Structure 1
Amino acid sequence: MGDLKTYKDSVGNATVSLPTISPSAYGNQSFYTPESHYQSIIDVAFFLNKYYLWVVFAIGFPGNLSTIITIVRMRSLGSFTLYVVVLAVMDNLAISLKLLFYQIFENKVNMGTSGCRTFHFFGNFMVSYANWVLVIMAVERLLAVKYPLKIQKLMNCRRSIVALSIVGSVIAGIYLPILWTAYYNETHQACDFDNSSPRLLSFLQWANVSMSAFIPFSVLTVCNLLIVRVIRESFRVRNALRSMQPAVGLKHKSSFYKYDISVQRQVTIMLFTTTLVFVLLMFPLCAFKVADTHWKVEALSNEYAAKYLVYQLSYILCDSTHAINFYLYFLSARKFRNHFLAMSSCATPTRATSV
């Protein structure tokens, strides 16, 4: 890897340029000296960037595909399972498009201005939309644990589709400027953005970071805290009611009640696990973006190389959120696990459930 190489990350990531050196003239010679470990750290960062998407794809694509097949074969589809399917589809599309863009860029294929605009628009849209589907799931689950008797009336598949459509339309509208600002730079053989409107470019940069990272991270953190709080309060109320509840008159409903409580508990655990892991994996990127403006480093210094490596690691963790949901579902949701294992062994599940 050359010291002066300019590098652009794949779709969904910000553009990163390694420092361009302005040589100091000493007679007829140009002179610059990287610090001792600069090149080795930079090489590690480039190596990770070159191969990590293949690992994410190898783990995530079959996992998300398994999620889609398992949920569809459950037959009992509700709003929550609809979200799970949409999330798996968007995760696979985000991973595939990002990997395809990276390969086109790496092989210096001339995709033209239309190709740059298409890849950047849909790449950023899919990454952000997948994260916002998770936000919608968390908000609905918070309403479900807060108002368990009203959630069936508040949310159904039709209203879930409307919510998904509204959120998708808003995200698409935010990214629309990409369609007239992105272009193919023949000189650098890469996608670039028109600098004639600095304010618009600044808006796109902050909108991308906010829609894909900051806002989902913040909302999911708050939702998880509120869900834990509501569940603790509901346990106290339920225990108090159970001690006063007569043992007669509810026997014919007890099995259904216990079954419904079991399903709702598994749905909550499944979502809480997924959103908690998302928050943990997204935190390094959010922290880096906040610290970036205050973390000043000198070109060709070890600290600059370390900063770039931290940046790369934060995006690896961020992109891995599109690859691990199936494995979290499998570990946290017994009904989902049983359906997948039954499907894998060609057996017939004993009971169709929503999760």
Structure 2
Amino acid sequence: MADVIKDAAYYLNLLLLTPVILCGLVGNCLSMLTWSRGCHRDTSTAVILTALAVADTVVLLLPALEFWLATVMGMWIRLENIVTCKLFGFSSYFGPSLSSWIIVLVTAERFVSIWFPVKVRFVCTRLKVKIIILFMCIIIAGIYSPFLVFMKLFDTTDYTMMETNGTNQTFRKCDTLENGTFHQIYFPIWMWMDLCILFMIPFVIIVLGNSLVLYKILKSRQILIREGRYLSYRTRIANSFTIRAIAISITFLVCLLPVTTHEVYLIHTGDRLPMVAYSLIHILLYANSAFNFILYCAIGSGFRKDLKKVISNLFGRKKVRLDHSEPTFNANNAMAAKKKNLIPESGLLA
């Protein structure tokens, strides 16, 4: 029975996690390339989505690749030495959490651009966004820094094997010491903190922010319907954003809730999931870093146009001119839209 479960977990990771890592890396590389060289490279949106692609790439190259090598190739990289133990132990918490909070920043920028179109040019600047992302990295790294201190390499005994066949089997483990103060007292609290930082707080902000943006779009659409202006265009925008907002919320919920719930359940009960279920929740976790490219980049028509131009310049003979995006919504138009309770075109397309 154990061999059947092991084989099922092997094929599950081989067939599902492999394309997740490969497609995610390709998508994130295309995203970084497009946002750094495309027409919108001088916008705050380009900075945020480039940072999101970098964070997701770190997740796919470190914890996701480590999990794939362990389940498919039978190689635990973190067991090689104390440096890899601390590095992969820290990155497995830091990377996904940073990605979650950059998604929160994307939602916050969209909220400001829709609700405060006059102030968006002063609030959402490239410099301010870079400073916020830097502070995010420092704060999240500080929160998970104890894992760099308390992660240890040690030998432990498999008592399950002793009870089954009487053999005394030892194996190497990279974890916090089970008889240490951190593991016994602080680790259970830490898992609840991780649940809040990685999933609960970002999820609430994302759902609330997208709901407020969607409310503003629909309210503006109703005003335009009464005035008989841009109905078909606004309808497409509203429908597109509705689908995107729902997809973001559902994807975030499905991908991150299982693994965070499992961590809290494990530390309080000590009961481990079967290998197949354990593999599935981690595949979902890493899939979130691959889906972000589709949700935030590939859905937008403007991004697709930029992507085609960038790829054409890289591999084609005929070079395509990539001009800086010129704002189509000045301060006077923004003030007029605010008075009429309308949202700007630039906000809709952000």
**Fold agreement, TM-score > 0.5:** yes
* 2:176 is the counterpart of 1:193: yes
Which residue of the other structure, out of 93, 106, 112, is the alignment partner of 1:124? 93
Kindly provide the amino acid, as one letter, of the partner of residue 44 in structure 1.
A
Partner of 2:252: 279
1:164-221 alpha-carbon deviations (Å, 9 max, x no partner):
1222222111101112211112342231112312122113322223222222222212
Equivalents in 1 of 2:290, 2:22: separation in Å? 9
Q: Secondary structure at the match of 1:233?
A: helix
Check whether the contact 2:17–2:68 (CA below 8 A) recurs between aligned residues: no
Equivalents in 1 of 2:255, 2:46: separation in Å? 24
Equivalents in 1 of 2:84, 2:264: separation in Å? 33
* Number of corresponding residues: 296
* 2:320 is the counterpart of 1:348: yes
* 2:63 is the counterpart of 1:95: no
Partner of 2:162: none
Check whether the contact 1:128–1:211 (CA below 8 A) recurs between aligned residues: yes
Structure 1, unaligned stretches of length 5 or more?
4-38, 246-258
Partner of 1:180: 149
1:4-53 alpha-carbon deviations (Å, 9 max, x no partner):
xxxxxxxxxxxxxxxxxxxxxxxxxxxxxxxxxxx645642354246643
Residues 350/266 of structure 1: CA separation in 2 closer, same or farther (3 Å cut): farther
Alignment of 1:27-42 (within 5 A): 40=4
Kindly provide the amino acid, as one letter, of the partner of residue 79 in structure 1.
S
Check whether the contact 2:66–2:76 (CA below 8 A) recurs between aligned residues: no
Kindly provide the amino acid, as one letter, of the partner of residue 107 in structure 1.
M
Which residue of the other structure, out of 219, 222, 225, is the alignment partner of 1:233? 219
* 2:180 is the counterpart of 1:212: no
Equivalents in 2 of 1:227, 1:268: separation in Å? 9
Partner of 2:115: 146
Equivalents in 1 of 2:260, 2:278: separation in Å? 10
Question: What is the root-mean-square deviation of aligned Cα atoms in Å?
Answer: 3.8
Partner of 2:103: 134
Kindly provide the amino acid, as one letter, of the partner of residue 137 in structure 1.
V
- Residue 235 of structure 1: how far off its partner (Å): 2.2
Partner of 1:81: 46
Partner of 1:57: 21
Residues 43/206 of structure 1: CA separation in 2 closer, same or farther (3 Å cut): farther
Q: Secondary structure at the match of 2:320?
A: coil
Structure 2, unaligned stretches of length 5 or more?
157-170, 327-349
Equivalents in 2 of 1:171, 1:279: separation in Å? 19
Check whether the contact 2:199–2:260 (CA below 8 A) recurs between aligned residues: no
- Residue 321 of structure 1: how far off its partner (Å): 1.2
- Residue 315 of structure 1: how far off its partner (Å): 2.7
TM-score with structure 1 setting the length: 0.70
Task: Name the structure with the higher helix share.
Answer: 2
Kindly provide the amino acid, as one letter, of the partner of residue 110 in structure 2.
R
Q: Secondary structure at the match of 2:289?
A: coil
Check whether the contact 1:342–1:348 (CA below 8 A) recurs between aligned residues: yes
Which residue of the other structure, out of 56, 75, 93, is the alignment partner of 1:107? 75
Alignment of 1:188-337 (within 5 A): 188-195=171-178, 196-197=180-181, 198-239=184-225, 242=227, 272=245, 275-276=248-249, 278-282=251-255, 285=258, 289=262, 292=265, 305=274, 309-329=276-296, 331-337=298-304
Which of 119-128 and 310-319 deviates more? 310-319
Equivalents in 2 of 1:328, 1:112: separation in Å? 38
- Residue 265 of structure 1: how far off its partner (Å): 8.3
- Residue 311 of structure 1: how far off its partner (Å): 4.5
- Residue 285 of structure 1: how far off its partner (Å): 1.7
Partner of 1:19: none
Partner of 2:131: 162
- Residue 85 of structure 1: how far off its partner (Å): 0.4
- Residue 64 of structure 1: how far off its partner (Å): 0.5
Residues 287/161 of structure 1: CA separation in 2 closer, same or farther (3 Å cut): closer
TM-score with structure 2 setting the length: 0.71
Residues 40/52 of structure 1: CA separation in 2 closer, same or farther (3 Å cut): same
